[in-house]
Amino acid sequence: MQMSFRWYGSSDPVTLANIRQIPGVVGIVTSLYHIPAGEAWPEDEIRALVQTIEAAGLQLSVIESVPVHEDIKLGRATRDGYIANYQTTLRRLAAAGVRTVCYNFMPLFDWLRTSLAYELPDGSTTLAYFDEEVDEQALLAGRLRLPAWNLETDSHLLQEMLVTYREMGTEALWDNLAYFLQAVIPVADEVGINMAIHPDDPPWPVIGIPRIIVDRAAFQRLIGLCDKPANGVCFCSGSLGASADNDLPLILRELGEAKRVHFVHLRNVRKVGPRSFYESGHLSADGSIDMLGLVRVLAEINYAGPVRPDHGRMIWGETGNPGYGLYDRALGLAYLNGLWEAARAFA
């Protein structure tokens, strides 16, 4: 597998030089975060991003993400223009050598946590989600907004969209995803880009908003919407693992054998309630997920694509983007490398 690391660009306190010193890292996962959802990405900015990463002795493994505009998710009349821009962006990324694009179809909000600095017994802090603490007004006011969220909308428009999503329901959201995929996947397939949808995080409805990419059945339905090799998934152990209903090794094996796993996020969570969890260290003993078991599956299906350690704790006094410090993610990557070497040796 191709070990990669998330980087938020020139403003990220974690530098490319830092990342290159982590043993085993060859790829960078990043995006053009300043470009609003729905706009076509400029060719010169794509080229500059690739050149910056390659000059540091690394390669651009995955674009995470090219955000999907809300009008596409809502099925509004304006969606065709935004889809055309998305197609243009894919063509330009392919021309620059990009082969994997991660995206999500989460309505209104990206991944959500109720705490960005939940303190663990060892003094480290981590991201946590407690369902009983979900505050609708805090979400709409942006007080739970996270660094990677690319949604610039006034609060009154957020309220309007919230009502619309609640009224449209799950099946209409699936219809809008199908419309998007049937327009975008053929272009991705043509230019040689793998599209990897990220599961909803957390994998259940939030404040009445439907979420659909949540389990094994959802992935099977997704593939059926546009059955082309480019239409695949980002297998995120932390997102899927927050639900006790998901059999992670089974999902990974089925998708992997079907050649639909295009990207992998590996992190651990500790479930503390039916819909509550915090993000633990990567070790199997720290959380509720058998990380060794998942890496064994990756070895058995001969997975050769990009993998990254996902969110990490903030340790040793590090500050910066919650969940995206250098130290714990680097430790997690070293642990995953060890699991991979062992799994490959005994496969």
Identify which of 194, 4, 203, 187 has the alpha carbon closest to the alpha carbon of residue 105: 203
Out of 119-128, 201-210, 224-233, pick the least confident: 201-210
| pLDDT mean over 249-261 | 97
Indicate the pLDDT class of residue 105, thresholds 50, 70 and 90. Answer: very high
Map tokens 């880009």 to a residue: 193
Look at residue 271 and give its three-state secondary structure.
strand
Let me know if 207 is exposed, middle or buried by CB neighbors in 10 A (0-12, 13-18, 19+).
middle
pLDDT of residue 255: 98
Active site residue: 71, 86, 102, 265, which one?
265
- Quickly list DSSP for 95-115: HTT--EEEE---SS--S--SE
For all residues of the chain together, what is the average pLDDT? Answer: 93
Q: Is residue 153 over pLDDT 90?
A: no
Indicate the pLDDT class of residue 143, thresholds 50, 70 and 90. Answer: low
Is 310 among the catalytic positions?
yes
Q: Is residue 98 over pLDDT 80?
A: yes
Is 189 among the catalytic positions?
no
pLDDT of residue 160: 83
Level-2 CATH architecture, domain 2-346:
Alpha-Beta Barrel (3.20)
Active site residue: 102, 103, 236, 303, which one?
236
pTM recorded for the entire structure: 0.94
| pLDDT mean over 112-125 | 93
CB atoms under 10 Å from CB of 150, counted, come to: 18
Active site residue: 71, 201, 215, 310, which one?
310
Indicate the pLDDT class of residue 155, thresholds 50, 70 and 90. Answer: low
C-alpha–C-alpha distance, residues 88 and 42, integer Å = 10
Is 265 among the catalytic positions?
yes
Indicate the pLDDT class of residue 148, thresholds 50, 70 and 90. Answer: very low
| Residues whose CB is less than 8 angstroms from the CB of residue 56 and which lie 6 or more positions away in sequence, other chains included | 16, 17, 19, 20
| pLDDT mean over 183-187 | 98
Active site residue: 69, 198, 262, 282, which one?
198
Map tokens 């390659």 to a residue: 54
Residue that wins the pLDDT comparison between 42 and 136: 42
* Contact predicate 230/194, CB 8 Å: yes
C-alpha–C-alpha distance, residues 161 and 157, integer Å = 6
Active site residue: 118, 129, 165, 324, which one?
324
pLDDT of residue 152: 52
Q: Is residue 68 over pLDDT 60?
A: yes
pLDDT digits (tens, 9 = 90+) for 271-318: 999 899 999 999 999 999 999 999 999 999 999 999 999 999 999 999
Q: Is residue 142 over pLDDT 70?
A: no
Look at residue 140 and give its three-state secondary structure.
helix
pLDDT of residue 67: 94
Is 198 among the catalytic positions?
yes
* Contact predicate 91/59, CB 8 Å: no
- DSSP tag of 285: G
65 upstream amide cis, omega within 30 of 0: yes
Active site residue: 103, 311, 328, 335, which one?
311
Nearest 10 degrees: Cα torsion 16, 21, 24, 27: 10
| pLDDT mean over 225-251 | 97
pLDDT of residue 147: 45
